[in-house]
Amino acid sequence: MSDEEIHRGLADVTVTETRLSDIDGEAGQLWIAGYPVAELAANATYPETVFLLLYDRLPDADELDTFEDRLCSYRTLPEPCYNAVVEAAERGAGPMAALRMGAATATAVEPNDPEADALRLIARLPTITATYWRVLQGEEPIDPRLDLSHAANYLYMLTGEEPTEAQVAGLETYLTAVVDHGLNASTFTARTIVSTESELVSAITGAIGALRGDLHGGAPDLVLEMLEDLADTEDVRAELAGRLEAGERLMGFGHRVYGARDPRAAVLEDAAAAFYEGEADFFATAKEIESIATDLLAEHRPDLDLETNVEFYTAVLLHGVGIPPELFTPTFAISRVAGWSAHCLEQLEDNRLIRPRSSFVGDHDRQWTPLEKR
């Protein structure tokens, strides 16, 4: 056995340099390509944010038009991808399984080009998700509309109705706020795969697989379930206290890297406040539940910083915008695919195979026993 220190889960191990995002967990701060997440989410469209991540600068008006046109041109699914998504829906596959299957075939008939593949995947994940959802509901898929923005088109393909400005603004803010977040599990997975010089689509497919896990992608749909349950509860504090005493986890609180409130929660809270203005009952209830929950968590686990995380107001905002709860995590992937892709391209700029070591704790002195003597 080696005497070297083991960093389980690669905790606190720095393995690369990046210009894409930076986190100060203790202060509760996040920068995307140098911009505070609140400033970027309040001002940038999602395509502007994608351009920023890929090219390390904001586009001018002509560049943005050209870039958006290129993204639009990739929205339609190639036949192998469309067939895989429809088959997944007809077989009743879960939404993340269907997204993974669609992503794996999203560039099947096109030549391998990492930058072009990044744009194809960014453009096509909304189409994959909406196509799957429509077929799963027994409805005809809806073709993408090239005259709608990235966010508006996704909402349109889900319902067949052109979304309101408020819906588009809410979703746009969400997509920008969660676009990248350091070297998390799915991003590290993507960089590891592309470091082998595999195709970018393989890296993104692997990232989706990592995001599917409960410990990473989380469960904002369970936050919504909790909020809806508590909305009909007479004594919210007693109900939450009872759950904590029973050892249950309160969904939407606590984060691996933050010792303070998740800065994305603040961004999405502001977006939800704007969205629900005029009919704020659900938002007000969520705010009250958040306040009670954070107080109880501080009392119950004073040794931990269990502040509000991004999942809490993801549930509040996406519910208002009209995203079905089953699609909360795929919608997260629809945003994060830009971060994954940018990390892959960054990895390829000065690539080195990612190959950590392990510490062997087994026995070196075993002797073979023939089958007849076992």
- What three-state secondary structure class fits 159? helix
Length of the chain: 374
Element (H, E) at 23: strand 21-24
Residues serving a catalytic function are 255, 311
- What three-state secondary structure class fits 32? strand
User: What CA–CA distances, in Å, run from 258 to 177, 255, 272, 345, 369?
Assistant: 16, 5, 22, 27, 52
Give residue 33's pLDDT.
97
Give residue 97's pLDDT.
96
Query: Rounded to an integer, what distance in angstroms lies between the CA atom of residue 245 and that of residue 256?
Result: 22
Task: Flag whether pLDDT at 131 surpasses 60.
Answer: yes
Task: Flag whether pLDDT at 341 surpasses 50.
Answer: yes
pLDDT level of residue 217 (50, 70, 90 thresholds): confident
What mean pLDDT do residues 84-99 have? 96
pLDDT level of residue 2 (50, 70, 90 thresholds): low
Alpha helices in 232-327 (DSSP H): 236-245, 263-275, 281-300, 310-321
Lowest mean pLDDT among 202-206, 244-248, 301-305, 309-313: 301-305
Task: Flag whether pLDDT at 148 surpasses 90.
Answer: yes
Query: Rounded to an integer, what distance in angstroms lies between the CA atom of residue 332 and that of residue 9?
Result: 23
CA dihedral angle for residue 114, residue 83, residue 208, residue 38, rounded to 10 degrees? 80
pLDDT level of residue 231 (50, 70, 90 thresholds): confident
Nearest alpha carbon to residue 250 among 317, 333, 309, 176: 309
Give residue 17's pLDDT.
93
Amino acid at 147: D
CA 98 centroid distance within chain: 16
Using left for φ > 0, alpha for ψ between -120 and 50, and beta otherwise, residue 92 falls in left
Backbone torsions φ then ψ of 212, nearest 5 degrees: -65, -25
Structure tokens at 168: 């588009």
pLDDT level of residue 1 (50, 70, 90 thresholds): very low
Lowest mean pLDDT among 163-172, 211-220, 288-297: 211-220
